[in-house]
Structure 1
Amino acid sequence: MIKMKDVCKTYDNGVSALNEINIEIDRGEFVYIVGPSGAGKSTFIRLVVREVKPTKGTIYVNDVNVNELKEKKVPLLRRDIGVVYQDFKLLSKLTVYENVAFAMEVIESPPALIRTRVMEVLDLVGLKHKARSLPQELSGGEQQRVSIARAIVNNPKIVIADEPTGNLDPDTSWGIMKVLQEINDRGTTVIMATHSKEIVNTFKNRVIAIENGVIVRDEHRGEYGYEV
């Protein structure tokens, strides 16, 4: 599913973000990426979605060597990766339905399939009744649920959630986690970068800890391991 071998990433300004990363994430896993701010978590995610290339080492995502992937093929790679952002990134002038449908329209899915699939995923995240609402008419938790619906509407093999509960209150965060857990239970690999000790320690999954660009801990059903 995801394999990194001897991966290093140094940016043009000389900052070394990751150093000698060796990791494998199998299909259907739920993995937390934890660590202090600036540890390299965001770079790890950017490498998986091919926003940046490694300075050294090889990365395979869904059996594709992303190092050797031509730029015109990158959108095809990303069709199998859904991304959930901390700040939602919804289009303010589009309804909930239109925001989710847009992800299918850009890959030219048939209109009939779009209508059916969008309502399916809105039902999954509990927002079928909000299909005609605009993002600004929703709570933060509801907007994040729309973001999740958009990320999974094309049936990706991997969902990457970058601090998906970072701007939400604790009660709302539990609801978002239950949705992500259900998506994982249906077979989708979920990789979640988080600073939430409560979530990691409550929803037990694999924990990969990164500090100063190095993996210092990799535990199945691990704990957060940092004071907050």
Structure 2
Amino acid sequence: MIEMKDVWKAYPNGVMAVNGIDIHIEKGEFVYIVGPSGAGKSTFIKLMHREVKPTKGKILIEGIDITKLRNRHVPKVRRKLGVVFQDFKLLPKLTVYENVAFALEVIEEHPRYIRKRVMDVLDLVKLKHKARSLPDELSGGEQQRISIARSIVNNPLVVIADEPTGNLDPENAWGIMEILEEINESGTTIVMATHNKDIVNTMKKRVIAIEGGMVVRDEQRGEYGYEA
């Protein structure tokens, strides 16, 4: 499903953010990426959806080496990936409905399908009644739910979440996790970078710990392993 083979990433300033990572993530897994600040988690996530390219190594999504793709072919592969950000990245002048629909409009889906699919995912995240609202009329937790709806509207194989609960209070954080778990139970692979010790220790999924750009721990039903 997802493979990283001897992946290295050095930035122009000389920082070696990723050092020879080898991992394999199966379809349908729920994986936490943990580690101290500056460990390389964000680079790991960016490599996975080709926001940055590795200095060396292979990254395969469904057997396709995304490191070798020409830039014009990257958007097609990204359709298989949904990305959820800590800061939501919603378009402020578009309504909730329009923010989610945009992900389907850019791939030229039929308008009738778009209407049904958008309302279905808004129902999943329990915000169907906010379809006409603007992002700044929503709470932080609601904005993150819309971000998730946008990430799954095109039925991705993988949802990559970078600190999706980082800006939320505990109640909203758990609400987000319930949605992600429901998405995972439907067969979607979830890869989530997080500093939330309570969530990791309670939900007991696979844990990959990164320190100094290297995988130092990879455990099924693992724990966070760091001070909160």
TM-score (norm 2): 0.99
Measured after TM superposition, the shift of residue 165 of structure 1 is 0.3
Instruction: Give 1:50's aligned amino acid.
Output: R
Measured after TM superposition, the shift of residue 57 of structure 1 is 1.3
Task: Tell me the SS of whatever aligns to 1:191.
Answer: strand
Matched residue, 2:56:
56
Matched residue, 2:203:
203
Matched residue, 2:119:
119
**Aligned pairs, how many?**
228
Instruction: Give 1:190's aligned amino acid.
Output: I
Task: Tell me the SS of whatever aligns to 1:3.
Answer: strand
- Whole-Å separation in 2 of the counterparts to 1:127 and 1:203: 24
Measured after TM superposition, the shift of residue 141 of structure 1 is 0.4
Instruction: Give 1:74's aligned amino acid.
Output: V
Instruction: Give 2:81's aligned amino acid.
Output: I
Instruction: Show structure 1 runs of 4+ deviating over 2 A.
Output: none
Q: Which runs of 5+ in 1 are unaligned?
A: none
Matches within 5 A, 1:1-228: 1-228=1-228
RMSD: 0.6
Q: Once the two structures are superposed, what CA deviation does each residue of 1:35-65 show, in whole Å capped at 9, x if it has no partner?
A: 0111000111111111111111111012111
Q: Once the two structures are superposed, what CA deviation does each residue of 1:121-152 show, in whole Å capped at 9, x if it has no partner?
A: 00000001111111111111000000000000
How many percent identity over aligned positions?
71
- Whole-Å separation in 1 of the counterparts to 2:27 and 2:161: 16
Task: Tell me the SS of whatever aligns to 2:108.
Answer: coil
Q: Which runs of 5+ in 2 are unaligned?
A: none
